[in-house]
Amino acid sequence: MKHTKISAVLAVLICCNAVAEETQEFTQLSRYTKINLNTDQQQRNPLKTIVSIKFPENIETVGQAMVYAMERSGYEIPNSKGLTEPARILLSRQLPQIHRSFEFVTLENLLKTLAGEAFSLLIDPISRQVNFVTHLNYGDE
């Protein structure tokens, strides 16, 4: 009886796995890079779009880089009145050289990387705004 139940469960799992594999489409970009071509997720959430960006030389601050990266996504950073003091400081900082180019990352992860570990991304899907909250207590949040 136990073997029959286990066999039935395994058969269901194998069928579910086969169906899941059929609905996902992948493409090989290079020898070690394979990406999912399921555009439904990216179209439903533009921040999940895979991007490759090399920022032009005229992009000097973290804020300019974020605005440039989100240019065609439909998302934006609120005006300075909608930002906390730590977020305003972050956006005014010089863009680090190591952050001048990204390859094959989601837009969301790019923004998280630019913000750094001290900040969490706060996404408002209704107004399509991206804001940043700090993990540290500066007394103004």
Q: Quick one: pLDDT at residue 81?
A: 87
The whole-number average pLDDT for the span 123-134 is: 93
pTM, two decimals, is 0.69
Q: Quick one: pLDDT at residue 32?
A: 83
> What is the tens place of the pLDDT at every residue in 100-115?
999 999 999 999 999 9
Q: Quick one: pLDDT at residue 137?
A: 60
> What is the tens place of the pLDDT at every residue in 81-102?
889 999 999 999 999 999 999 9
User: Concatenated DSSP letters for 66-126?
Assistant: HHHHTTTTS-BPPPGGGS-HHHHHHHHSBPPGGGSEEEEEEHHHHHHHHH-TTEEEEEETT
Amino acid at 120: S
Confidence class for position 138, pLDDT limits 50, 70, 90:
low
The whole-number average pLDDT for the span 120-124 is: 93
How many CA atoms lie less than 13 Å away from 61 in the CB half-sphere? 10
Residue 10 pLDDT > 80: no
> What is the tens place of the pLDDT at every residue in 14-72?
544 444 445 667 778 788 887 766 656 667 789 998 999 999 999 999 999 999 999 99
Cα–Cα distance for residue pair 73/67, rounded to 1 Å: 10
Residue 8 pLDDT > 70: no
Which residues are registered as beta bridge partners of 133? 120
H or E element in which residue 35 lies = strand 34-36
Q: Quick one: pLDDT at residue 80?
A: 84
